[in-house]
Amino acid sequence: MRISLQAELGDFQDRHTIYVFALKMSFLAVTLSSVVITLILPPLSWMGMLPVPLAHGVVYGVLLSWLIGGAVSSVLSLVAGHAMHQLSVSRAEFEQLSRTDVLSGLLNRRAFTEALEEVDENACLAIFDVDRFKAINDRFGHACGDAVIVAVSAILAAAFAGSSAAARLGGEEFGAIVVGGSQEQRIERVRSVCAHLAGQPVAAGDCVVAITVSAGIAELGEGRSKEGAYSAADKALYLAKALGRNRVVHENEGLHPGWRRHSSEEREINTICDEARLA
């Protein structure tokens, strides 16, 4: 119902639509009142209750309906149109806020998950984590930590614009859907972003913080569940942490092609990831 109404009346985020809406409503109101007058006056004339000739009464009635009814309906339609405009803008702003992380301006986890479901192939999932972020907060304070989040977010947003997408998943963890190119090219894009971040110290107040970022990558292939890809990227990230941080690990560096592992390899990777989580 809302979609059909919007298609008929237009998008009320556009002010031009308000005036078109008012014009349409005024025309409909005046036309309807003219029809009603034309139907009512003949019986009144036949009963002798019309003080003027029927033709004059019809002309006067139609003129009054256009002058008075048109003016009143125009004002009311403009008021209603402005109210609908405000509601439409507020709704759009609310939807934007509900999908955006307030601090970073990136997609939030919910919006990122929705975007992930729309990806079919020729893409990968990358999960980034700022190395030793807790130590930054403890040493320089949360204001500096927030500045780091904002700086990282700006670089990710610029690097993964267009058909790709970036999000803040929570805390110092970020995600990106990298679309297009070959697998090697997508990995290189992620490595380039991490190298850029490592070469851009973050200034916040009196402190300047040099940061590094670790990343894990998993392919979003056809027939693979998004949950499976997320789990593989998460394990690749923890493997990058365990191997010394400030590096990018693709899932195939620890997994066999086709996303299958031998049990011994799986146990080894899980052990490394668990150690990284505790570190």
CATH of domain 109-278: 3.30.70.270
Determine whether 172 is an active site residue: yes
C-alpha 191/C-alpha 215 separation (Å) is 8
- Pairing, β 173-179 against β 165-170: antiparallel
Measured between alpha carbons, how far is residue 158 from residues 120, 164, 187 in Å?
23, 10, 17
pLDDT of residue 186: 96
| Residue position matching structure tokens 């970022």 | 213
Check 172, 184, 222, 275 and give the catalytic one.
172
**What is the mean predicted confidence (pLDDT) over 69-98?**
64
8 A C-beta contact, residue 112 and residue 167: yes
3 state SS of 125: strand
d(CA 251, CA 232) in angstroms, rounded, equals 6
- The tens digit of pLDDT for each residue in 260-269 reads 444 444 445 5
Q: Which of 73-77, 159-163, 237-241, 270-274 has the lowest mean pLDDT?
A: 270-274
CA dihedral 20, 25, 31, 37 (to 10 degrees): -150
CA atoms of 154 and 143, how far apart (whole Å): 17
| Residue range 60-83, pLDDT digits in tens | 666 766 666 666 666 666 666 666
Domain ranges in the chain with CATH number 3.30.70.270: 109-278
235 or 40, which is more confident: 235
| Exposed/middle/buried for residue 82 (C-beta within 10 Å: 0-12, 13-18, 19+) | middle
Angle subtended at Cα 86 by Cα 83 and Cα 87, rounded to the nearest 5 degrees: 85
For residue range 150-180, what is the model confidence (pLDDT) as tens digits? 999 999 999 999 899 999 999 999 999 999 9
User: Residue 94 is inside which H or E element, if any?
Assistant: helix 70-99
